[in-house]
Structure 1
Amino acid sequence: CIPAAETMRCLLLLLLCPTVFTDACPRGCSCSNPSNIFCINSQLKSMPEGLPEDTKNLFLFQNGISSLSAEKFAGLDSLELLDLSQNLVSELPSQVFRPLSSLRNLDLSSNEIVEISRGSFAGLGLLERLYLNGNRIKSIHPSAFDGLGHLLELKLQNNQLTTLPALHVPKLLLLDISFNKIPSLRPEDLQTVNLESLKMAGMGLSYLDDNLLKSLGNLHDLDLSKNQLKAVPAALKQARGLTKLSLAGNTQVIQLKKEDFQNLESLQELDLSNLNLQGFPEGFLQLFSRLHTLSVAENPFNCICPLAWFPPWVQSSKVHLQRNEETRCHFPLLNAGKILKTLEHKEFGCPTTTTMMTTTFTTTTPDPPVISTLSTTTMTITTSSESPLADDERSPPPGSPEPNSSSDPDVWFCPSNICLNGGSCQLDHKGNLECTCPTGSWGLYCEEKEDTTLPVSTPTVTTEPAISPRAATSTSILVDLHRYIQARPQLRGIRLTYKNLSGPDKRPVQISVPASYPEYTLRGLRPNSTYHICASPLAEPGKEDSFCMVARTSSVPQTPAPVTQTKDAELTAMIIPLVAVVLLIAVAAAGATYYVRRRRAKGHPDLGADPCPLELEGVKACLENGALPQKTPELSQPQNGLEYEVPLMQGQNPANNNVAVLKPSYF
């Protein structure tokens, strides 16, 4: 070899085979970049060995890890996210996480943990999200969460708790204790003044302490579904800021009272499904001027006249009625099984309008003959005793009606609702009740009706946005991803990117969301700010399939959640041009070397050269064995030289994020 050419060739091999000279990724894991390590479904029985000290995000879910020790975490003081969900961990030794002084997100969901001791989370002063849902936890030490002053989200649903220790976590925004066996809570158990979302579904609650919500002035989302409440709790009167309320599945609630909801004018989402309601109080839904989503499915509605206002109200209002097919009439028999929203007014059996004939007498002289003038008046059969006639008109005595008058006082004694489909009730000459049916209906009570096909109007097709905001508080925005996911059946995950358009820091923040999450709440936002939010397929850097929206937080001041960001733009800007220049020089040198050697080989077939030292060490094989191994980027995609990794630590549905088919909490 020519020394200079061989040097450039070896430099090229060095650039193309960096794994030969760098620390290998732990066995059974993949490393999309030096700070993210994915050991997912790798059948690991213990913590992997040889983790780089600069690791920031470590994903170990869906393995068989059964025990943890502080020694395994030694040196990982830069770790910010640790996902150990869906393993076999049964115990959390005291001080086990102390080496992880920078940890902000810890997911231990879907393990076999039975007890939380006093020192289980010692040393995690910066922890923001703690997920313990889907374990077998029976007891929690009263001081287990002391020292977690930055905790924002705590999930304890689907465990075996019978009591809840008093929580002294002032910054907590979300608490989920659903599907435990906690029969009651005391006001002193919830010393969380900034709590925004409280989920208590499926706990067997039969009542709520009247003062339970008194100190929770920032509460926006309350889930009391699938309990044993017999009436709407009076404690709701103190939750004036509620925007989302679920009472679904409390099957012993048979009646609603307007006074129980009188302070909930801010409600935007209301779930009253699967109660035991037959109707609503008059003017009930008019209490909620901001309501945009309503669910009343699986109630045994009695579809008679007092409920006739409901279908027109749904059609005229902007409220979205969920689960239409499951919102049906049970009574009376004539309407049983019909979809409530599609019922016409006449099908509710309300009183109909009847045409009556009256006689008017006009006097022209003091003693003139009476001149009868026939006039027609349209009246509605009511129970009012006031006469519809003017003051200068008077009716003849009821005992002597005029022959040409069809007025019959006996018509007032017809039972209401006896004639259907718009028929009018009257008495025949024998005093028997009979119904006069309109055109197109017949039968004794006009119960039979011709099937008429109405012309089908072409609906106006409106394109709904792929992503949209569902609800916003001062520190959070709920992003609806239903339509985005439904339009992409093969979608693996979603990358949410958001930035504050109102503040001085407009750098984007990225969150990786699995495709199994139809909605996601962005938390820790600044109040009274406008955010630009975009969704794009995970691991696809292009923007051709990106959809964006703009949403705004409310003006109530809240403490923003800290956001972890990585700043390496300058370093990347310096390295990329340098590497490009070196590669160009190396390729040119390699081509020249190949050309010279080939010419020499034709003229001097026996001429040889000493092998490069790097070839003797096996580096050459890296180039000659075919295509180099490719590493699929898992979750981190650089954008404009900046890279932000904010882990998804969000549940799947309001009451329970632990589904039957276990999926990772995030990617």
Structure 2
Amino acid sequence: MKLFLTPLVLVLILPDVILSSACPRDCSCSTPESILCFQRRSATIPQGVPSFTRSLYLFANGIEGLSTEDFDGLENLEMLDLSQNKLTELPDRVFETLASLRNLDLSANQITQISEDCFQGMALLERLYLYSNHIKTIHPAAFNGLENLLELKLQGNQLTSLPVLSMPRLLLLDLRFNVIPTLGASDLQTPNLESLKLGGVGLTNLNKDLIDSLKNLHELDISRNQLEAFPPVLKETHGLIYLNLAGNPMGPLQFQDLKNLGEMQELDVSSLSLQGLPEEFSQLFPHLRKLTVAENPFNCLCTLAWFPRWLRAQSITLERTEETRCHFPPINAGKVVERLEHRDFGCPTTTTVTTSTVKTTAAIPVRVTTPASATTAIPAHRFNENSDKDVDYPLPPVPATPSSSSGVDSDEEQRFCPSHTCLNGGTCRLDQYGQVECTCPPGTYGFYCEIRNDSPPSPPEPDLSVTTVTPNIPDITSRQATSTSILLDLHRYIEMRPYLRGIRLTYRNLSGPDRRPNQLSLPASYPEYRLRGLNPNSTYTVCASPLGAPSSIDSVCTQARTTDEKDDSVTGAQIVNKKMATMLVPAVAILLLLVLIATAVGVVCYVRKKRAKGHLDLDCEPSQVELDGVKAGLGNGALPQKQTQLMIPEPAVQSGNLEYEVLLLQDHCMSSKIMSSHKPSYF
């Protein structure tokens, strides 16, 4: 039995022994075929990598050079990650011994060029990542032989031209943030390409032959280029499910150009100077799941009231929500579009008026009219399918007459300015061009009547058509801020959600060029938290959501602003002054008390001196007066002669810290000679 168990125990223990002994120094070997060497801080490849290794991760190791000997015996290696090192060049055929390699990551190094023979002998390679290097040139034959390549990532380099890519199986090509202003069908011989990313390469037009040659294209990124108009070739393109047009100077879109893109699932039209979206937009993309319309100057008027409701009804995720805000009118300026309710867009309030005749009763909707001071017609501003700036001008409203008061033409719709567009009681109207004008009451002026004269203006008449709504108390607030930190108050957010196990804080800087979100995880026991390391004089948006749930679920956001750096010095001086005041007040009080006590002592001494003068007219102590009386009695023989001891009281009392405090009340007033001759003892 023992002879049988011994081989079995060896079989169970042997893999662990081999695993621990075969793992290179300063590396982690979680499985026999996968080795992770992270931040080894070594300029060379680790030695002693087992031949059966399939995945080798060497990112952020400080490796400065490669040689063919580094990979001897690694014929089974399929994944090699050399990203975030310090490689400046790739020797010819350096990876030739890696016959089974399928994934090679060389991103975030300092490589400047790709020679002809860098990747020779890598017939099975499927993914090659060279992004975030300093590559300026690529030899025309550098990628020859990579016929099985599926993904090629070259974004974030310094390329000004691209070699002809003849890759029949390539599915993804990323060239973003290089300088390649022209790209034609002859440059990309990739008939099966599914994803093409050309963001920020300087395109002034999109080559029609190139797009027509890519019959399998599903994703296209042409953001941050110099396209001054919507590319005509895209009007006839079918099959796109992802399109990014953000940041091009093409101006507002003509949305009829997108009518053939009905299969779209993700669309990014950020930074295109869009002032609104026509309601027909919701009918163009029945399969849309993600939409990005950030950094557009939206006019949050009644024509856009459908948008938040549509997002919720179709469960569409609005990306970069915090950067999708209203620009106009002033009452909505800066507010997040998705969080506005229908009433916030200033749509006219409708009421129901019942009129009766002899035979029938009809309910007729009546629009709320303008105040009596408004005498001009208000044209309507609406989108049509030809342009998002066209304006229709309805006829002036007809005053109600007794004969016409029983009915209203339902076809006539009047559109008015949103409530509270004009401030300080001003009257809002639209001119013949659809622009807002404010008629200001006496004592106010400005575009929105926002400036008052010294004399107080008359109070505005209440607008009965607007229902006053008490604002909700925010769940998260910022209580104070410095130039580099914000103190968040999460008391209410935690109290309203007793089920919370943790909080995910997401914050981003809305004032700087880098608006990437940052995330922190907090326990639910933190009712206050200070965000540190922020930029001074910046506006931050901070969102809280339950930890473990998607960030869009039960997310509550607020805005806070860090102060300027010079304000911190002022604040510090104020704090110092406050502390000095806190210290001086008790000191002054004690000083006043001592003055009062000294005054009282002086009064007592003065009274005693006056009494002494009244008897003997002597400036002496009561003890000295008594002694003189004894002497006088002795001279007359009235009393028996006796030696009297003169007791001199101590003028001071020693405290515990070797300081001396003068007694406030003493039984005897001493002469100046005795006081000068007496010195306190330290013993």
Q: TM-score, normalised by structure 1?
A: 0.54
CA distance in 2 between partners of 1:21 and 1:336 (Å): 63
Alignment of 1:467-478 (within 5 A): none
1:218 to 216, 219, 224: 216
> C-alpha distance in 1, partners of 2:239/2:143?
27
Partner of 2:468: 450
Larger radius of gyration: 2
Aligned counterparts of 2:243 and 2:203: Cα–Cα separation in 1: 16
Aligned twin of 1:249: 247
Which secondary structure does the structure 2 equivalent of 1:214 belong to?
helix
Residue in 2 that maps onto 1:321 = 318
Q: 1:266, CA displacement in angstroms?
A: 0.8
What does residue 144 of structure 1 align with?
Answer: 142
Partner of 1:560: none
Match of 2:106 in 1: 108
2:322 partner amino acid: E
Within 5 Å, which residues of 2 pair with 1:67-82? Answer: 67-82=65-80
Give the Cα–Cα distance (whole angstroms) in 2 for the partners of residues 115 and 172 of structure 1.
22
Q: Residues of 2 paired with 1:54 and 1:419: CA distance?
A: 71
Residue 60 (structure 2) pairs with residue 62 (structure 1): yes
Change (3 A) 1:335 1:60: closer
Contact 2:282–2:310 (Cα < 8 Å) also in 1: no
Equivalent position amino acid for 1:116 in 2: I
Counterpart for residue 301 of structure 1 = 298
Alignment of 1:380-419 (within 5 A): 406=405, 416-417=415-416
Instruction: Report the Cα distance in structure 2 between the residues aligned to 1:400 and 1:348, rounded to whole angstroms.
Output: 28
1:462–1:130 distance in 2 versus 1, CA, 3 Å:
farther
Q: 1:357 to 1:203 in 2, by over 3 A?
A: same
Runs of 5+ consecutive residues of structure 1 not aligned to the other structure: 363-372, 385-397, 426-432, 434-440, 464-481, 490-544, 546-667
* d(CA) in 1 for partners of 2:268, 2:499: 26
1:163 partner letter: S
Measured at CA, do residues 163 and 414 of structure 1 come closer, stay the same or move farther in structure 2, by a change above 3 Å? closer
* Cα distance between partner residues in 1 of 2:288 and 2:413: 41
| Structure having greater relative contact order (Cα 8 Å, sep ≥ 6) | 1
**Aligned letter for 2:334?**
G
Q: 2:260 aligns with which of 263, 276, 291?
A: 263
Cα deviation, residue 357, structure 1: 10
Change (3 A) 1:16 1:57: closer
CA displacement at 1:138 relative to structure 2:
0.3
The match for 2:206 is 208
Alignment of 1:164-183 (within 5 A): 164-183=162-181
Partner residue in 2 for 1:38: 36
Instruction: State the distance in 2 between where 1:281 and 1:418 align.
Output: 18
SS at match of 1:299: coil
Q: Which amino acid aligns with 1:279?
A: G
C-alpha distance in 2, partners of 1:51/1:73?
9
Post-superposition offset of 1:452: 4.4
1:444/1:44 Cα in 2 relative to 1: closer, same or farther (>3 Å)?
same
Aligned to 1:161: 159
Equivalent positions of 1:641-660 (< 5 A) are none
**1:123 aligned residue:** 121
| CA RMSD, Structure 1 to Structure 2 (Å) | 5.1
* Runs (5+) with no aligned partner, structure 2: 370-376, 380-397, 422-426, 429-438, 440-458, 475-495, 501-516, 525-547, 549-683
Could you tell me how far 1:57 is from its partner in structure 2? Answer: 2.0
Contact 2:327 2:334 in 1 (8 A): yes
For residues 257 and 413 of structure 2, the distance between their equivalents in structure 1, rounded to whole angstroms, comes to: 38
Q: Distance in 1 between matches of 2:350 and 2:104?
A: 68
Give the alignment of 1:274-423 within 5 angstroms.
274-351=271-348, 353=350, 378-379=365-366, 406=405, 416-417=415-416, 420=419
Q: Percent identity, aligned pairs only?
A: 49
Query: What is the identity, as a one-letter code, of the residue corresponding to 2:84?
Result: Q
1:359 offset after TM fit, Å?
11
Cα distance, 1:30 vs. partner? Answer: 3.6
Once the two structures are TM-superposed, the CA of residue 122 in structure 1 deviates from its matched residue by 0.3
TM-aligned CA deviation for residue 332 of structure 1: 2.1
Q: Residue 125 of structure 1: CA displacement?
A: 0.2
Alpha-carbon distance change, 447 to 143 in structure 1, aligned in 2, over 3 angstroms: farther
The residue identity in structure 1 corresponding to 2:113 is E
8 Å contact kept, 1:270–1:295: yes
Residue 290 of structure 1, CA deviation: 0.4
Offset at residue 126 of structure 1 (A)? 0.3
Deviation at 1:209, TM superposition (A): 1.5
Q: Which amino acid aligns with 1:108?
A: L
Change in 2 beyond 3 A, CA 1:451/1:51: closer
**Partners of 1:488 and 1:99 in 2: CA distance:** 51
Cα 1:90–1:375 change in 2 (3 A) is: closer
Distance (Å, rounded) in 1 between the aligned partners of 2:236 and 2:418: 48
Check conservation: 1:347, 1:421, Cα contact below 8 A.
no
Deviations for 1:247-304, whole angstroms, at most 9, x for unmatched residues? 2333x24211123212211111112223311012440231101011212122100122
Residue aligning to 1:563: none
- Secondary structure in 1 aligned to 2:208? coil
CA contact (8 A) 2:163 2:187 kept: yes
* Matches of 1:51 and 1:350, distance apart in 2: 71
On the 8 A contact 1:231/1:255 being kept in 2, the answer is: no
Task: Give the distance between the partners of 1:400 and 1:269, measured in 2 at CA.
Answer: 50
Aligned residue-pair number: 426
Please report how far the alpha carbon of residue 314 of structure 1 lies from its aligned counterpart in structure 2 after TM superposition: 2.3
Structure 2 counterpart of 1:285, one-letter code: S
Q: What does residue 93 of structure 1 align with?
A: 91
**Alpha carbons of 1:114 and 1:311: their partners in 2 closer, same or farther (altered >3 Å)?**
same
Measure, in 1, the Cα distance between the counterparts of 2:320 and 2:111. Answer: 37
Q: Secondary structure at the match of 2:210?
A: coil
Give the Å deviation of 1:224: 2.3
Is the 1:253–1:277 contact (alpha carbons within 8 Å) kept by the matching residues of 2?
no
**1:232–1:486 distance in 2 versus 1, CA, 3 Å:** farther
Distance 1:12 1:359 in 2: 100
SS of residue in 2 equivalent to 1:335: coil
